A and B are shown apart, each in its own frame.
Chain A
Amino acid sequence: MSEVTDVVNTGVSVIHLMANHAGIKTVQGGYANGFPIGYDGTGAFGGSFKQVTKHWKQTSDWWDLTKVDFDFTIGVNWLACISQNGSGHYIDQITPTLEVAYLPVDFTVDVEANFPSHGNKFGSPHDVIAGMPFTLAISVNGVFGQALSWREEKNVVVMGDGTWSWPPDSGTTASC
């Protein structure tokens, strides 16, 4: 197989999910991917889904003070370990996820992922491991006598070998 020149994202550049006590809404959906340039995934072989999640659940101390409960989980799914013509570790169907067990009224949770048009190459020239870095912005808005906002933005990386980084955490064990 010839050397892979670049890893590109031919999917979407923005995914935006939103939730409140009434449910979850996909404001802007779709998937991102990390394939060799000029390749749309046709003929790809294999792949296994990976998922990482982060959980927010009200603590008892704060519940004692506010009597407000919330419980939601934000994650990232991607299909790793995809090979092309027998080599490489590419990625497809990268998307953030949002699950809600409970949100009070006056609470909204926004998750927005911004993907670049290009990813990164790791591994060797003849067995490329694709990496896709993106920003994951999480915003929580609530009303506690006044409108309040909390925001966290992280630079997340998912890899074709199943490893990942979501600072300050990371998973370094390849799963292919």
Chain B
Amino acid sequence: MPDIPPDAQRSPDGNYWWDGTQWQLVDQSPAQAAPSTDNGSAPASAPIPADAQRSADGNYWWDGTEWQLVDQSKAGPGADPSAGQGQQLSGDQFTSMLDAAQSGVVEG
């Protein structure tokens, strides 16, 4: 993986940097940002705020201090366990999402 130039543009969530052609994943060391699995401090039953930042794989959420494991068993009926701000979409899914979002042209 190439070194990240110090002046490289970063995505707002800090997970990607722009190499001049495309977005590259920031190779975060476990100590820096990888979701922690051994802290044991997160109460598994703690409610996850609706606006909580999620990890890219959707398995962790940020409590403001550290990453907490998402307790999938607490997900509501029909909840997608991979849902979250870090949800990965394909190009086709992105297109479908925007196509579904658009309304017809109206006057006024």
Contacts and interface: CB of A to CB of B under 8 A. Distances in A.
Interface of A: 21, 50-59, 61-62, 64-68, 70, 104-106, 140, 142-150, 166, 169, 171
Nearest to B98: A150
A68 B102 contact: no
Q: Which of B12, B22, B90, B107 has the most CB of A within 10 A?
A: B107
A73 B93 CA distance: 21
Given A59-B100, A149-B94, 11 more contacts: A54-B104, A64-B78, A66-B97, A67-B50, A68-B85, A104-B85, A105-B11, A144-B93, A145-B87, A147-B22, A148-B90
Interface residues of B, number: 34
B102 to A, nearest CB: 5
A140 B98 contact: yes
Given A52-B105, A52-B107, A166-B105, A66 B83 contact: yes
Contacts of B84: 67
B60 to A, nearest CB: 14
Contact of B97 (A52, A62, A146, A166): A62
11 contacts: A52-B105, A53-B108, A54-B103, A55-B102, A56-B101, A58-B101, A59-B97, A64-B83, A67-B84, A145-B89, A169-B104
A169 B95 CA distance: 20
* Pairs A-B, 6 closest by C-beta atoms: A145-B88, A105-B12, A144-B89, A169-B105, A148-B94, A147-B23
